[in-house]
Amino acid sequence: MEIALACSLTWCGLAAESSPESRPATNSFVRFERTGADRGRLSTAVRTYTNANNQTVALIAAIHVGDPAYYGKLQELFKSYDALLYEMIRDRDADMAEKINSDHPVSQLQIGLKSALGLEFQLDALDYTPTNFVHADLDPETFARLQGEKGETILGLMVRAILEEDARQRSGQGQAINPLQLLWALASGDRAHALKFLLAQQMDQIEATLAGIDRGQDGQGSVLVSGRNEHAVRVLRDQLERGKRRLGIFYGAGHMTDFERRLGRLGFQPAGEQWLTAWDIRKKRPSAKPKPAQPTNAPAVSPLP
């Protein structure tokens, strides 16, 4: 069960840093912070980099299911960029004003997580129509062709994720979710809260698993991560050459460590960071009970005879 959950979150692009019992990774783009016995925050980073030409690029880590307030803050942040490069494997002539309804298993999985965790789905919550939005991902045909050339399949990557996670646990680097904890969460009266609190503490293991499978069968990186990042950086270079001064790259958190290395090779240096709360994990407040009717001093009225 735990491995299945890990694979599910991996394909949703969710990644985070360590559980509260371990030291967080300094280069992680997502972190979990415990704020109480049963409360916490799962946050994503916005890291800014600058080059010698005083151009800035922000890596905006995404979690694809989150609180409505999280997506509201992101939408407001996006307005500050000359160009906002975003991920989405879609046809290049797709009309972003139309409602996106994908039957792809990954999208269905993300929608399932939205319901189970009581969160919003990114594609429902964000408006992709502003003029500064720039598509920076592969189209389905190119994605399938590149995967075919590498002999890569989604099923194969999922198997690799399972093997990677198993190897990490055997080496003592990972810790599986206790099945009793998972059963307790599923049976909880506030299941969404219990599942979020449990899963948020495992995000660092999922991030490491994604990094492991991105090595690919040939050791040159997977199309799922490295191949798409390579295409996004080509789009970025084009935007920079057009004279754009302030740019953002909005991609799943699991892509960001690779993006950071690529920006370094382009001469960009770290310049700052901020954090946005994606999951504010707190129990629901019990609904107030209706107050009993207060007696009145008005005299009783006898029914008419």
Worst-scoring range by mean pLDDT, 27-41, 189-203, 251-265, 282-296? 282-296
**SS3 assignment, position 106:** helix
In a domain, 304, yes or no: no
Q: What pLDDT shows up at residue 217?
A: 59
In a domain, 300, yes or no: no
In a domain, 131, yes or no: yes
State how far the Cα of 279 lies from the Cα of 8, in Å rounded to an integer. 18
Confidence class for position 183, pLDDT limits 50, 70, 90 = low
In a domain, 250, yes or no: yes
> Per-residue pLDDT tens for 116-156?
777 899 989 999 999 999 999 999 999 999 989 888 877 77
Confidence class for position 26, pLDDT limits 50, 70, 90 = very low
Of residues 51, 80, 44, 91, the one with CA closest to residue 248: 80
Domain that holds residue 141: 2-281
If one counts every other C-beta atom within 10 angstroms of the C-beta of residue 41, the result is 17
- pLDDT value at 296 more than 70: no
In a domain, 249, yes or no: yes
Beta bridge partners of residue 135, listed in sequence order? 86
Strands (E), 137-209: none
In a domain, 295, yes or no: no
> Per-residue pLDDT tens for 78-103?
999 999 999 999 887 777 766 555 55
- pLDDT value at 181 more than 50: yes
Confidence class for position 180, pLDDT limits 50, 70, 90 = low
Whole-structure pTM value: 0.77
Torsions phi, psi of 58, nearest 5? -105, 130
In a domain, 296, yes or no: no
- pLDDT value at 204 more than 80: no
State how far the Cα of 294 lies from the Cα of 26, in Å rounded to an integer. 59
Average pLDDT over residues 28-54: 91
In a domain, 303, yes or no: no
Buried b (16+ CB within 10 A) or exposed e, 185-214: beeeeeebbbbbbbbbbbbbbbbbbbeebb
- pLDDT value at 282 more than 90: no
Compute the half-sphere exposure of residue 239: CA atoms within 13 Å on the CB side of its CA. 25
Structural domain count of the chain? 1
